[in-house]
A and B are shown apart, each in its own frame.
Chain A
Amino acid sequence: MTNAQPKPRLTNAAREALTCYLFLLPWGIGFLAFVIGPVAASFVLGFMDYEIVTPARWVGLANYIELFTDDQRFGMSMGNTLYYVLVFVPLHIIVALLLALLLNQKARGIAVYRTLFYVPSIVPIVAGAILWVWILQPEWGLINSTLRSVGIEGPLWLASLTWSKPALILMALWGSGAAMIIVLAGLQGVPQHLYEAAEIDGANRWQRFQHVTIPMLSPTLFFILVLSVIASFQVFTTAYVMTGGGPAESTLFYMLYLYRRAFVLLDMGYAASMAWILFVAVLALTLVNFKLASRWVYYEAEQS
């Protein structure tokens, strides 16, 4: 690498470093202008009252105090979001795991089944949402029509206080195919000899699943857990398109409320403080996830 050719100004290492920085420059500009700058600005805005038409005014902690003591919708939207996260994330992982176990079997036409289970996860979210409004339509929709033909009168789904959130969760579970493919890849990475060894030791199906499959799969499941917690805290589009937050704000999720504060009421300072609360909450949860990981996630590579 060190060639003897004399370089007039710079050493090879300095040239290489300079090229490196130059190649990273476009990303660097984007990072400063569209990420770090806005994140910092958002933090500062959180301490201001700024409604675009009037000049910004420093209000200290007033936004945060109002959020935590005076704003019912804040608590309600947080509660709705927690409901969504706590119900969706475990179901999402279970569905992905069950589908992956099923698709890891030997069966005729398995590739076709894999494709069928995967495809809903790549459907554009707005198109999927509109399709599901029609499927969940109480009178003529597919689900209630099917239920009626076996003599059950289905709920009002998106128009029902009780069923609106489960309906959105049901739709989101339809898109579990992406996680399923990741779990499937994880399953196929489990060395066959571990199963054989367990079988020789007299382990039954369930024991093999519990003591071989689950530990070997735990890094994959952890990866999906972390990502789906982050994503489902930010649930927005389905609620915006399908319910607009209703009925009676039963699907007013945190992001939807934030969107209303910022882009309907133009209450930019207030919205910025909400955004920072979400940021901190998601960050804290991710850290908790990583802390808890050492109790159940098994990394084989650690020995080597």
Chain B
Amino acid sequence: MIREPAIEALPSREIHPSARGRPLRRLLGRGSVQLTLVLGSLVFALPFVWMVSTSLKADRQIFAFPPIWVPDPFIWGNFPAVFIYAPMHLYFFNTLTIALAHVFGAVFTCSLAAYAFSRLRAPGRDIIFMVMISQMMVPYIVTLVPLYLLFAKINWVDTFYPLTVPAFLGTPFYIFMLRQFFLTIPMELEEAAIIDGAGRLRIWWSIVMPLAKPALATVAIFSFMFAWNDFTAPLIFLNTREKFTLSLGLQAFMFERRTMWGPLMAASTMMIAPILIVFFLAQKHFIQGIALTGIKA
């Protein structure tokens, strides 16, 4: 079943209500839980704070002991400085182009295949489905060398095609997620449309797609994030600096200027920020994605 709770909406409950009737012990237990939560989340969050703090510091404060958490004064110069060392605006634009191609591919091609897998009967369909599921088990690396040779042969190396065209030709994980969702949509509406003589393409587009908006949003976000974060494929298929993605550009920047921590942290902040914004705007779709992978609660 599909549940779409936001992280806040996941119900909280105590699993071990054994301290019942012993108020002091319960209070202590509560206190230690709260303390562990605070300390634990500090450990997980401090790297971010450290990153942002470094990006806003002058060098003499970056290299200081004991470490300085709050920059004094705040230095904004590291952010514009990034653009001197690396054409971040190009990287940003390139990454966005590739990520949008992934989103379109995921939303259109994958939903079409998912519709076929969930609604249309055809001989061999379930075998094809099993084949697609096992495709997920094939490590990317096994295909990489021949893919490179293929793309080199048709002059696609150092273009965006190797990074975008495969995305238009279906990704098993997204097809699987969408199929799981389509299976939960009641069939009555479609049956009525079939009797009225509507074609399957039309039913997919004007009945199923609007009903599947939450699942499509999840798939769109997942594919966007995947493309935004991907490093291996851009590393292998792109050579010219002007065509680099953020991941690749950031790595090159780091490789060339390993000690410029202020600009490096500013660049990392700029790469992470859009992902965090997407996350906070669409939290519930992340949780739904977990539900859609079949790990039911």
Q: How far is the CB of A54 from chain B (nearest CB, A)?
A: 14
- Are B148 and A34 closer than 8 Å at their CB atoms? no
- The residue on B at minimum CB distance from A273 is B145
Interface size class of B (residues with CB under 8 A): 35 or more
- Are B228 and A23 closer than 8 Å at their CB atoms? no
- The residue on A at minimum CB distance from B11 is A188
- Are B115 and A119 closer than 8 Å at their CB atoms? no
- Are A45 and B290 closer than 8 Å at their CB atoms? no
Asked if A237 meets B231 with Cβ closer than 8 Å, knowing A20-B125, A140-B65, A205-B16, the reply is yes
Asked if A208 meets B247 with Cβ closer than 8 Å, knowing A117-B40, A184-B10, the reply is no
Q: Within the assembled complex, what's the spacing in Å between the Cα atoms of A118 and B289?
A: 14
Residues of B within 8 A of A185 (CB): 10, 290-291, 295-297
Whether B36 is near chain A, meaning CB under 8 Å from some CB there, is: yes
Whether A211 is near chain B, meaning CB under 8 Å from some CB there, is: no
Whether B27 is near chain A, meaning CB under 8 Å from some CB there, is: no
Q: Within the assembled complex, what's the spacing in Å between the Cα atoms of A258 and B117?
A: 36
- Are B120 and A19 closer than 8 Å at their CB atoms? yes
- Are A34 and B264 closer than 8 Å at their CB atoms? no
Asked if A16 meets B120 with Cβ closer than 8 Å, knowing A102-B36, A107-B33, A130-B268, the reply is yes
- Are B116 and A34 closer than 8 Å at their CB atoms? no
Residues of B within 8 A of A116 (CB): 41, 44-45
Residues of B within 8 A of A119 (CB): 44-45, 48, 276, 279
Q: Within the assembled complex, what's the spacing in Å between the Cα atoms of A146 and B43?
A: 12
Q: How far is the CB of B157 from chain A (nearest CB, A)?
A: 11
Q: Within the assembled complex, what's the spacing in Å between the Cα atoms of A52 and B169?
A: 28
Residues of A within 8 A of B132 (CB): 27, 31
Partner of B12, one of A101, A106, A149: A106
Whether A80 is near chain B, meaning CB under 8 Å from some CB there, is: no
Q: How far is the CB of A291 from chain B (nearest CB, A)?
A: 16
* Residues in A278-304 with C-beta less than 8 Å from chain B: 278-279, 282-283, 286
Q: Mark A21-54, 1 if CB is under 8 A from B, else 0.
A: 1011011011101110111011001000000100
Whether A120 is near chain B, meaning CB under 8 Å from some CB there, is: yes
- The residue on B at minimum CB distance from A110 is B12
- Are B295 and A106 closer than 8 Å at their CB atoms? no
* Residues in B135-149 with C-beta less than 8 Å from chain A: 135, 137-149
Q: Within the assembled complex, what's the spacing in Å between the Cα atoms of A105 and B138?
A: 38
Q: Say which one of A57-65, A69-77, A85-93, A121-129 lies at the interface with B.
A: A121-129
Residues of B within 8 A of A131 (CB): 47, 50-51, 265, 268
Residues of A within 8 A of B37 (CB): 102-103, 107, 110, 113
Asked if A199 meets B18 with Cβ closer than 8 Å, knowing A20-B120, A107-B33, the reply is yes
Whether B185 is near chain A, meaning CB under 8 Å from some CB there, is: no
Q: Within the assembled complex, what's the spacing in Å between the Cα atoms of A13 and B121?
A: 8
Residues of B within 8 A of A102 (CB): 33, 36-37, 40
Residues of A within 8 A of B246 (CB): 124, 126
Asked if A35 meets B40 with Cβ closer than 8 Å, knowing A17-B121, A107-B33, A131-B47, the reply is no
Residues of A within 8 A of B295 (CB): 182, 185-186, 220, 223
- The residue on B at minimum CB distance from A268 is B145
Residues of B within 8 A of A33 (CB): 169
Residues of A within 8 A of B286 (CB): 118, 122, 181
- Are A272 and B145 closer than 8 Å at their CB atoms? yes
Q: Within the assembled complex, what's the spacing in Å between the Cα atoms of A283 and B283?
A: 34
- Are B166 and A30 closer than 8 Å at their CB atoms? yes
- Are A142 and B67 closer than 8 Å at their CB atoms? yes
Q: How far is the CB of A93 from chain B (nearest CB, A)?
A: 14
Q: Mark B49-86, 1 if CB is under 8 A from A, else 0.
A: 01100100000001111110000000000000000000
Partner of A230, one of B120, B137, B142, B287: B137
B residues near A, CB below 8 A? 6-8, 10-16, 18, 30, 33-34, 36-37, 40-41, 44-48, 50-51, 54, 62-67, 109-110, 112-113, 115-117, 120-123, 125, 128, 131-132, 135, 137-150, 166, 168-170, 172, 175, 191, 194-195, 200-201, 204, 225, 228-229, 231-232, 235-236, 246-248, 250-251, 254, 261, 264-265, 267-268, 271-272, 275-276, 279, 283, 286-287, 290-291, 295-297
- 7 additional contacts (CB under 8 A) given A126-B247, A241-B254: A27-B109, A111-B6, A118-B7, A119-B44, A174-B47, A181-B7, A275-B139
Q: Which 6 A-B pairs have the closest CB atoms?
A: A30-B169, A27-B170, A20-B120, A17-B122, A23-B116, A111-B8
